[in-house]
Structure 1
Amino acid sequence: MTHPDIIVIGGGIAGVSAAAELAAFARVVLLEGEPQLGYHATGRSAAVFIRNYGNATLRALNAVSAPLLDHPEGVSDHSLLSPRGELMIATEDELDALEVYCAGASGIERVTPSQAVDMVPILRPDRIAAAAIEHDAQNIDVDRMLQGYARLFKSRGGKVITGQPVTSITRQGDDWQMSFGDRTLTAPIVINAAGAWADQVAALAGVAPAVIQPFRRSAAIIPAPQDHDVDHWPVVVSASESWYAKPDAGKLMVSPADEDPVDPHDAWVDDMVLAEGLHRFEQAVTIQVTRVEHSWAGLRSFAPDRSPVVGFDAEAKGFFWLAGQGGYGVQTAPALSRLAAAVVTGTEPALDAATLSALSPDRFQHLKKDVTK
């Protein structure tokens, strides 16, 4: 397909899921600059579905995604979710943060410090002023989800091209023309699902940026505490999100929950940031971290108001934003991919007007004008 109906730029879960949904109605080509799909943020996800994670807009998306993750028709023959739970704990200094989180949440149960320790025995009860559990937080099988959407896309006639970064995007009449390697494609619609590189893709196309800022987040795998079976522990998160820990294949994944602004790149761990985060974790538990088996970092990319940017650009015909998913990209992908397909095909989205407005690229017109002055 040298002249498809739609070109999707970005092979993370956002781009792959949107491409799969759109391929039911159109001829779609998916371009990914890396040699494989899901290389950056998707492949480095914490892989947890938390219904109450994010602002009101994201929670609305989570509510739409939940049944699609549980019954992923066409993507997998069984649920992409499995039980986990999320335990949020607060020191005296974090009580306000816990109250703010619980105030806008559903399905949250308050628990005592001793109950929290019963769930995760390595927690220090003297460091817990209050706690709450979201039993419905669940693991997401991210790899099965990504591969399932990729298979669905291909079964619908979609074409995947990897290892070919886009080098130019120009407007040619009613079409967008883009070059990669020694090849050229044209299409009337371009879906910008480039994650941390979304504003760079816009710049190639001469489109004003949506002011998407990537932030680095690090994580490490440490051995499970001796004489403890961690497999059934919930994810544990500090109320101020200064660290979190999640069981991972019989071990613990610990993150400093860092959020340092960076330029788009293949992220790596800052050793000092990781060490500081592991120290905060150690202060909350009765064990010491004596060995890190593996560490990595990924990029979470946010718009200024922390909500995704989804829809056609008001000033660039056929240029569609699917960006700014932050740390919510995997769990919101089912909802956002169906929204993208609905907007492109002109059908009724499964979201209310307030949520659609909160996602629209139009909300950043004043910022985009400031950036381009």
Structure 2
Amino acid sequence: GDFLHHPPAELGGEGFLSPRGELFIARREDRAVLDAFVAKFAALGVELDQVDPAGYCPGLRAEWTDALYDPTCCDIDVARLHGAYLSAARRAGAELVCDAAVTALSRDGHWQIETRAGTFAADVIVNAAGAWAEPVGLLAGAPPTGIAPLRRTMVQLRVDPPAPMSLPLVRDAHERFYFKPESGGRIWLSPHDEIPTAPCDAAPEDIDVAIAIDKLASAVDWRVEAVERRWAGLRTFAPDRKPVYGFDPAVPGLFWCAGQGGFGIQTAPAASKLAAAMLLGSAPDPMVAHLDPDRYSIQRFRG
């Protein structure tokens, strides 16, 4: 909840967010789970409405009797927002070098960074390597941290009857699956999996796609006509599932910006302001001035 903020206006206009709404569904015997959700979100200033789930999700099976609805949930146009961030970085003088996997790091007063795209030098390096954050930290000489990637599967299905675009994001209160509508009556569906894996260009497994469809069938009476797309991504977490920001006291000139889990693009507007203030030694933006940076230090994993 610390970093959930709207994209900054200076990125070039509105339109990064569109209303969606979120529906947490539960069976009657799991009502206590929804009560816990209410308490959790109340602490973040979000009020959840108790609703009849059948009125929000056509085709929902009768055993799903209870639900909470969050009208403030939005979809993010991730591609457009990411492109806006890259454009802003270029305007500020940054150069993006792709296909530049780091192969070696050494330091003798300054960092020497060996990559597939050539050799670079720097006074400070920022470890924002996502799923590769732990290997990059080890190359820099940092002690192990336990930051690790978990694979998440997503599929696009064509269903009958077609899913209405008014459908909210539907999430099982036990966080075992979620789905939302896509254009043409399709849905995006995930089994909410978190499968430990090595850093890689992740690919979906057939068994995880099958599990996702089986979980969908437990919730709605729709017929799956086709699996049109399938993909997987890596969501990287520190052992306590909080992000890691700040200089590494064990390695001079190494700054961590890692472990954002599945919320990197969502938390970026505020998280980057905190990280930038820590990196540059400047006063933090008012948006994040209330945050304690020590709670995100890599030092918390080192006793």
TM-score (norm 1): 0.76
Structure 1 partner of 2:12: 76
3-state DSSP of counterpart to 1:290:
strand
Q: Percent identity?
A: 36
For residues 94 and 317 of structure 1, the distance between their equivalents in structure 2, rounded to whole angstroms, comes to 50
Match of 2:260 among 311, 317, 325: 325
The yes-or-no answer on 1:211 pairing with 2:146 is yes
Alpha-carbon separation, structure 2, partners of 1:352 and 1:98: 32
2:234 to 296, 299, 318: 299
CA distance in 1, matches of 2:29, 2:130: 34
In the alignment, which residue of structure 1 is the partner of 2:49? 110
- State the alpha-carbon separation in 2 of the partners of residues 191 and 286 from structure 1: 48
When residues 284 and 359 of structure 1 are mapped into structure 2, their CA distance, relative to the original with a 3 A threshold, is: same
2: CA distance between counterparts of 1:95 and 1:305?
Answer: 27
The answer as to whether partners of 1:76 and 1:144 remain within 8 angstroms in 2 is no
- Give, as a single letter, the amino acid of the residue that structure 2 aligns with 1:310: Y
For normalisation by structure 2, the TM-score amounts to 0.93
**1:93 to partner: Cα distance:** 4.8
Secondary structure class of the residue paired with 1:77? coil
Q: 1:263 maps to which residue?
A: 198
Distance change in 2, residues 1:76/1:353 (3 Å): closer
Structure 2 counterpart SS, 1:123: coil
Distance 2:65 2:289 in 1: 38
Task: Give the Cα–Cα distance (whole angstroms) in 1 for the partners of residues 219 and 99 of structure 2.
Answer: 43
Aligned to 1:122: 59
Q: Which residue of 2 aligns with 1:276?
A: 211
Give the Cα–Cα distance (whole angstroms) in 2 for the partners of residues 101 and 355 of structure 1: 25
Q: Give the gaps of 5 or more residues in structure 1.
A: 1-58, 367-373
Which residue in the other structure is 2:99 paired with?
A: 163
> Which of these residues, 267, 271, 275, is aligned with residue 340 of structure 1?
275
Distance 1:289 1:258 in 2: 20
Task: Work out the CA distance in 1 between the residues paired with 2:242 and 2:23.
Answer: 24
Counterpart contact for 1:108–1:132, Cα < 8 Å: no
Match of 1:347, as an amino acid? S
Q: Please, which of 70, 79, 91 is the counterpart of residue 134 of structure 1? A: 70
Worse-superposed segment, 351-360 or 269-278 = 351-360
Q: 2:242 & 2:165 partners in 1: Cα distance?
A: 32
Deviation of 1:224 after TM superposition, in Å, equals 4.2
Residue 95 of structure 1, aligned match among 13, 31, 46: 31
> When you count helix as a share of all residues, which structure comes out higher?
1
Structure 2 unaligned regions, length at least 5: none
Cα-Cα RMSD: 1.7
Aligned residue in 2 for 1:225: 160
The alpha carbon displacement at 1:229 in A equals 5.3
Choose the corresponding residue for 2:174, options 219, 232, 240: 240
